[in-house]
Amino acid sequence: MNNSTYCDLAAFSKSYEEIHGRLSFLVCVFGSIANILNICVLTTKEMRWPTNLILTGLAVADLLVMLEYIPFTFHRYLNEEKRKYIDNYSYNWAVFTIFHALFSQVFHFISCCLTVILAIWRYMAITSPHNSRYWCETKKTFYIIIITYMVCPIICSPLFMSLKILAYNQTCDINNKILDKQDLVNFTGVTFKRIIYITTYVSEDYKYISFWIYGVVIKLVPCILLTHLSRRLISVLLETKKRRKMLMNHSLPLNNIREIKPMLNKKFEKDKQADRTSGMLVAVLLLFLITEFPQAILGLLSATKGHQFEKECYIPLGKCQ
């Protein structure tokens, strides 16, 4: 029997939960506005490029996740007093909780996949521009985005079968305020039994299947792909910069300078713009990895380490997500 302690995060989880609701609400509101503006700009006629189509698909997925999270935040975090009463645990809210869990995971997975596709498209544009004009043209890119939106829910389908609604007899007072075991020690009034509805896993097997899908398929696989692509992109950018520097230092015949210099300046300016675009993409990918890798590792460890790790580490940190 394992008596060791994996984590001691109860105090941190409790203190952070007090600000998580307000913080997540502000992030969702600001993020929703930013994504709406992104969609409006990227869908204009002059901005309809393959890369911008992928960015639009990303903005739509992120917007839907944030809009859906706002009512969940209100109910779960911003109305703390109401959580102490039976009415807060209705059957309708249990249904919405399951919808929230599945909806957010599916569209977050879509966002991850589109980020990987964006990195692949950019890598092809740098390393093989002629092939990228054929394979990454606007129509094909649009179909890839549609296929991503269709396939990701299918991959996440085991999550749909892993949750259920459980009816539970809860002790409460005459005002339907929930009484836990500690409250009942000194409680002298009349108590009642009321049915509340909570969400739980269908079984332990389904729970750990969900952890494997969450930790490996939804999180870890995109992170590994993006790590490899980011490394390749950085390598290509450094090599391109080195080649440009060598070309700039290469001496030209005096009689050809006036003819060639304008062409070189135009080419160098175009290459610099491409480098800035690729550099911004690398920065976005690295930020993505910083946020996603810890979640992937946490989900994977929950699947491999068992209930104790889940209770001590995953659940306290899961409240902070």
Could you list the pLDDT tens digit for every one of the 321 residues in the chain?
Answer: 455 677 777 777 778 877 888 888 999 999 999 999 999 998 888 888 888 899 999 999 999 999 999 998 888 887 777 888 888 888 999 999 999 989 999 999 999 999 999 889 888 888 888 888 888 888 999 999 999 999 999 999 888 888 899 998 888 888 888 888 877 878 878 888 889 898 888 888 888 888 888 888 888 899 899 888 888 888 877 777 777 667 666 544 545 545 555 554 555 555 555 556 667 777 778 888 888 888 888 888 888 887 788 788 887 776 555
Give the per-residue pLDDT at 242: 75
Radius of gyration of the chain (CA): 26
Sequence-distant (≥ 6) Cβ neighbours of residue 1 within 8 angstroms: none
Cα torsion 229, 235, 241, 246: sign: negative
C-alpha 98/C-alpha 6 separation (Å) is 29
Give the per-residue pLDDT at 75: 83
Give the per-residue pLDDT at 288: 82
Residue closest to 41 by CA, chosen among 50, 29, 53, 32: 53
Residue closest to 120 by CA, chosen among 236, 290, 258, 270: 236
pTM of the predicted model over 0.75? yes
What is the SS3 assignment for 170?
strand
CA distances from 246 to 240, 249, 252 (A): 10, 5, 12
C-alpha 6/C-alpha 4 separation (Å) is 6
Position of tokens 């935040």? Answer: 73
Instruction: Report phi then psi at 191, rounded to 5.
Output: -110, 155
Q: Which residues pair with 163 in a beta bridge?
A: 201
C-alpha 236/C-alpha 104 separation (Å) is 35
CA distances from 56 to 44, 83, 237 (A): 11, 37, 25
C-alpha 278/C-alpha 192 separation (Å) is 63
Neighbours of 59 (CB within 10 A): 24
What is the SS3 assignment for 199?
strand
Give the per-residue pLDDT at 83: 80
How many residues are there in the chain? Answer: 321
Q: Which helix (H) or strand (E) holds 198?
A: strand 192-201
Q: Which helix (H) or strand (E) holds 200?
A: strand 192-201
CB 135 within 8 A of CB 85: no
CB 220 within 8 A of CB 296: yes
Residue closest to 178 by CA, chosen among 200, 197, 194: 194
Instruction: Give the burial string for 293-312 (b: 16+ CB within 10 Å, else e).
Output: bebbebbbbbbebeeebbeb
Sequence-distant (≥ 6) Cβ neighbours of residue 142 within 8 angstroms: 53
Give the per-residue pLDDT at 1: 47
